[in-house]
Each structure stands twice: as C-alpha cells, then as structure tokens.
Structure 1
Amino acid sequence: MTNPWQRVTDVATRLSTVSRESRYDPYALFDWPPSLPDNQYWMSPELMTGYGTAFWDELDEPQRVMLSRYEAVNFFSVNVHLIRELIGGVADRIYTTWHPGLSEFFHDFIAEENVHAWFFATFCQRYGGKVYPIRRIDLGSSSADGIVRDLVVFGRILIAEELCDFFNVAMADDDRLPPICQQINRVHHQDEARHIAFGRQLMRALRDEAIERVGQEKVAETGEHLARYITFCVRSLYNRDMYADAALPDPAGVRNRLLGDPQRTEMHRRAVGRTVAFFNRIGIVDGDRVRL
C-alpha cells in the first residue's frame, strides 16, 4: 500500500512543476482601467447576498447594480484577509512540519498567494477606495500543537480556497462584468485549482496521522472548529459596511435580515456543499454540525 505522505509529496512535486512553468508577471498581466462603469454589475447578481430574497425584489435595478460594486469589493477584501492568514500558516510550516518533502511546494504556494493578495487588494483600493476590514469572532480554541494544529490550519486553508473558488468559477467568464473583474476571478481560479488538489490530498494524510497519534476524539474536536470556520467564512460575505456604502438604510438590519432568510441557506449549501461533503466523507467534519 502506498504511503499517504509519499502520495502527498508526489502531488506537491508535480504541482510545483506546473506552477513554475505557468508563472506570470502580475504587474504586466493586468490592464487596470482608470475607472469601472457604474451602470454595470461588478459581481454576478446570482452570487450577491440578497439574490432570491424579498429584499432583492424591493431593490430597483440601479440599486442592485450599485450594491454589486460594494459586494465585489467586499468579496475581494475577504479574499485578502483569508490569504493573509493562510500565508502565515504555511510560512510557519515550510521547514518545521510533520510532513517533510513539501518545502518547495510551500514556497511556490506562498509566492502565488502573495500575488493573489496583491491583485485583490489593488482592485479594492483602485475602485472601492479601501479594503474592507473583516470582523473576527471567537471560533473556540485552535491552539493545539503538532499534528492537530496542522489539521486545523490546513483545513481552514482548504475551506477558504474552495469557498472563494466557487465564486471565481462563476464570474471568470461572466460577460456582464467588466473585463478586469472576469480576469481576476479567472486567474485566481487557475492557480487555486492546484492548491485545492494539493489541499485535499494533504488533509487525507493529516487525518490518517492524527487518528494514529491522538485518536478520533481529538480529530472530532478539530472538526467542530472547522465547522465553525465554514460558518464564519460564509457570514463574512454579508458585510454591513458594504450595505452602508450602497446607501441602503439600516445596514446592520439588512445583514441580519438576509442571514436569517431561508432562501439564502440554499445558496450557502451550493457554495460550500462540496467542501462540507469532502470533510464529512473523510471523517473530520460532521456535515450536520455546519450552520448555514
């Protein structure tokens, strides 16, 4: 039987080769227009936080288009913050880790994620005037050492990547959006496909080693944390500041109303359903414990 860590190392080596062969200069790749049309969606309407609800029906078309500008800036801002966190988690593990042989891939991973953070933040600052802050919440302890901590860190990375990729794929070729919006989503998806492939293989190996070292009960505790993290990432898309910037009255009330709307639950399931199913299948996260 193949050693799971050998499989992870083989995948990492192959993906590093692809990464280096397809590397691009981000500063030359993107042609940043001086401004974007204010009468055009910047985010696919079907992906916006109010879509499919009574709230959406109350908005006229100009209001929806205006809101899409701030939803795009918020979505890219969420990417910036999640990337910042995952870069730190991987950097801590380049050479001090339970799994040797992955250093080259981790260097490539960090290089690509640094580029992603740059182009997401550049969009936000050029066309939104800021990167929205992200509101942290207490997810419970995630300070365990060793293999359990790695399970948490790389689990969070995979969750963030798969959630954002769901949106990237949908917007990469949506010609209702300005070309720069499509391009950013498309480029990010192309890189993230490699990271997700690696992350899934890594999580299987980490799961096996964690069960062997600390037992199923500790792995289940990690799953509780990751279930809360999935909820946190989804809720980060509902930013009261973007509702305020879109000149909607009672932005905090809008956020609460949308988060409580059962129509949104189905969208959340679509966005993270594949991820939840994967974690459930490998025995880390109980899908029924994820609040959507």
Structure 2
Amino acid sequence: MSTALHRTSGVATAPAQSETVSTVDAGPDEVSTRLLVSSARLSRNAMTEIDWSAPLDPGKYGCSPEWSSLYGTAYWDELTEAQRVKVTRHEFSSIMNIGIWFEMMLQEMVIRDQYLGDYHTPEFQFALTEIADECRHSIMFAKASAVLAGTSYKPKARIARMGRIFMGTAKNEVAYAGILVAEEILDVFQRGCMRDERVLPLVRTVNEIHVLEESRHMRFAREQVRESMKNAGPLRRRFSAYVTALGASMVVVSLVQRKAFADAGLDSYRAMGEMKANKHFHAMIRSSCVHLMEFLDEVGLLTPAAARIYRKAHML
C-alpha cells in the first residue's frame, strides 16, 4: 500500500485509516482470510513513519497524565510539571518494555502451536503474519524506550522465571487467552493516549500503529480460544482459567517497574507504595479489562478461582 506521509513534530503520520475486520464468527480459516487481507492493506512501518532522531518537546507527556500510576495520589500532587512529564515518559517506557517481554513469549507460543500445522491454510499463514508483526512491534517499543528513557525495564527475576515456564508450557486456549489478556490491557491504555495532544507525537504514533495491528491479533486470539474451548471439559476449563489468570496477573503487576520511578528521579519506594494503593490506577486497570472479562466469562474461562486472582490484580 502506497501512502503519502506527512512529517510534523518529528513524526510522519499517514492519513487516518480504519480497521474493517469483521467480528462475525466464521471459524479460524475464514477469520484468518479476512485478517490476511486487512494486514496486507493496513499494516504500518514505524521505521519509516517516525523520525527517531527528532528532539522531544520538553512539555509533552509520555502518556496521558490520567494513565500515570501515580495520578490521583499525594505524591503526584507534590510533583512539578517537569517531574510529571518525566515520570510518565519512564512509565511508558516500562510498559513498552514489559510489552516486549510478553511479545517474545507470545511469539514462542504461537510458533509452538503452529509447528507442523497445515501450511496451506489461512490460519497458519496469519499466525506467521502475527509473529512478524510482533517482531516489528518489539523493535518499535525498544526504539521508543531508547529515546524516552535510554534504558531497559525488565520484570523481577521471580516473575521472569514464571514467565519462562508459562511460555514453555502454555498451549491451546491458555496460550491464546494469555495473549489476549496482555494485548487487551495494552490496547485500552494506548487508545486512551494516542489522540491526546498533551502526549508526545512519537508516543501517539507508536500507540496508533500498535492499536491498529493488535486489533487483528486480538480477533485471531479470540477465535482460537473459542475453537479450543469447544473440546474443553469441566476439569480442563477450570485449570485453563486458573493458569490464564496467573499469567495475566504477572503482566499487570509488572507494568511499571521500581527502576522506572528511580530513573525519573523519584523516591522509588514511596512511588511503588503509592502506586499499589492508588484507587484511581486500580479503576483504570479495571476499565481496561471490562470487555476482556466479558469474553472470558462467555467462553468459560472466568471461574471463581480465576476471578479471585483477577480481583487481587485489580482487573475485576
């Protein structure tokens, strides 16, 4: 697809386009066929759309202030405007780095699921398209983090070990529901920031690209979960629901790392304490999970045991 690019404020932006993927249930191959067409028409390239060397506006945020994990706390009220701008940039970088961590797990799970698949089918071909998208997204997140923070943020060692186990064992509905959980949370966060003119143009473009392309991935994941759950008995359903919830909680509690607060020049211990007790931030997380919880309930993956984990992580 050839598109004229318009470069403003250090960011080249393509004319707005809407995602037209159907949401009618039609089975994995029919859905994948539509997604392949959509991907060919609407895919974006952050390497050419964004001027990564352009200077950053010192007054622009890294995310909408309302999405900061400290917004609404006493600590936030004490910060100067410059400190608020700086901490949101480091928070955004932390969230994008955790996105890279999970997208790397996603790629392995999808490759394992499609190993020795039916190569001629649209389902297999879109799965590879998704992996290619995730590689590009991870590079985009990495470059954004380099520009905004100049460092990497990784989950705690214990959670990283748990993630490795999840990555190596999750399959069928657990793999795709886990993918869906992480992407849904990022999706709502990024939609909330991508049209906010208080946010850096670079960040808005990163969010816009990811939201557009992840809408296809989430559609594919929902169809895979529905298809997989057709053969799930009560025991498997309860087990899958519980493991999915554990994986989801790992992602949510890792979004903003202590190091991000320290790098922003804050008292990281106080900031972590205020974030964990921040009712506004908890409400924002719950709002990002409303449609996700409805879907998990629909397919039988919101059991009482799973719901307890989601409530503890402020997702329900």
TM-score above 0.5: yes
Q: Identity percentage over the alignment?
A: 26
Q: CA deviation at 1:228?
A: 1.9
Summarize deviations over 1:15-63 as a string: whole Å, max 9, x none.
Answer: 0111112234442222223331333212110111011233322323222
Shift of 1:225: 1.4
Match runs of 1:1-292 below 5 Å: 7-96=27-116, 101=121, 102-135=123-156, 136-137=158-159, 138=162, 142=166, 149-209=171-231, 211=232, 215-249=233-267, 251-286=268-303, 288-289=307-308, 290=310, 291=312, 292=314
Give the counterpart letter for 1:288 in structure 2: A
Distance 2:117 2:241 in 1: 21
Q: How far apart are the structure 2 equivalents of 1:264 and 1:45?
A: 11
What is the distance in 2 between the residues matched to 1:268 and 1:204?
25
Uncovered stretches (5+) of structure 2, i.e. residues with no partner? 1-23
Give the aligned CA root-mean-square deviation in angstroms.
Answer: 2.6
Q: 1:281 to 1:244 in 2, by over 3 A?
A: same
Structure 2 contact 68–281 (Cα < 8 Å) conserved: no
1:69 & 1:257 partners in 2: Cα distance? 18
**Separation in structure 2 between the aligned mates of residue 280 and residue 37 of structure 1, nearest angstrom:** 43
Number of residue pairs matched? Answer: 282
User: Residues 43 and 72 of structure 1 are in contact (CA less than 8 Å); yes or no, is this contact kept in structure 2?
Assistant: yes
Does structure 2 conserve the Cα–Cα contact (< 8 Å) formed by 1:45 and 1:68? yes
Contact 1:78 1:236 in 2 (8 A): yes
Structure 1 residues 227-279: Cα deviation after superposition (integer angstroms, max 9, x where no partner): 12222222112310011011112x13421332133343222211222212211
Stretches of 4+ aligned residues off by more than 6 angstroms: none
Query: TM (normalized to structure 2)?
Result: 0.81
Q: Distance in 1 between matches of 2:37 and 2:164?
A: 38
CA distance in 2 between counterparts of 1:98 and 1:279 reads 28
